[in-house]
Structure 1
Amino acid sequence: MPFTFSHPAAVLPLLPGGRPRGPLVASALVAGSLAPDVPYFTESLVHGTFRYGEFTHSLLGVPTADVAIAALLAAGWHWLLREPLVALLPAAWADAADAL
């Protein structure tokens, strides 16, 4: 299995001109690329979720469970994590990262 956090490297080149906004939103692409592997990481918090990894990698799981997981990840990023993490960045980077 490839390293999960390398998955965003496969989808971010899809952004037109490298911009985080437009028809494809960077946070949604990253969340969607990580969604199938979420059951493997949540196993340490909720016992028994590891077995759902097979479903999230199936043809049925992609348009159902993965979309729901990606929506939750993107919502968590935009509503909970983005502002505090951008505030921790140096000022020169904060303006560029604020668009994410």
Structure 2
Amino acid sequence: MYYPGLEGEKVSEMSEEDILDRISELNIRLSIAYNMSSSDAVFQLQGLLDHYNEALREKVEAEMQKIIDEDPKLGRKVINIDWPDPNEKDDKKHK
């Protein structure tokens, strides 16, 4: 999906604050440029959040693997996190 204003930027390299600022900015731009309601613009921005969450998950997994590699004894105590599938929608939110 194309995200206006994010040309050439890697979402995974953006801070959480930058992401939130960009979401607010893009929400306004989408609302004005495409004559969308705010809720429609938010729906379009869900893709941006999905990319950010995936990048964050990858960073956390990499850090966990580093801990396991550096200290096998501690690594055995690291809990294996069952990450939710980002492509799976939460039915509770959509009811």
- TM-score under structure 1 length normalisation: 0.34
- TM-score under structure 2 length normalisation: 0.35
Who wins on radius of gyration, i.e. which is larger? 2
Structure holding more helix per residue: 1
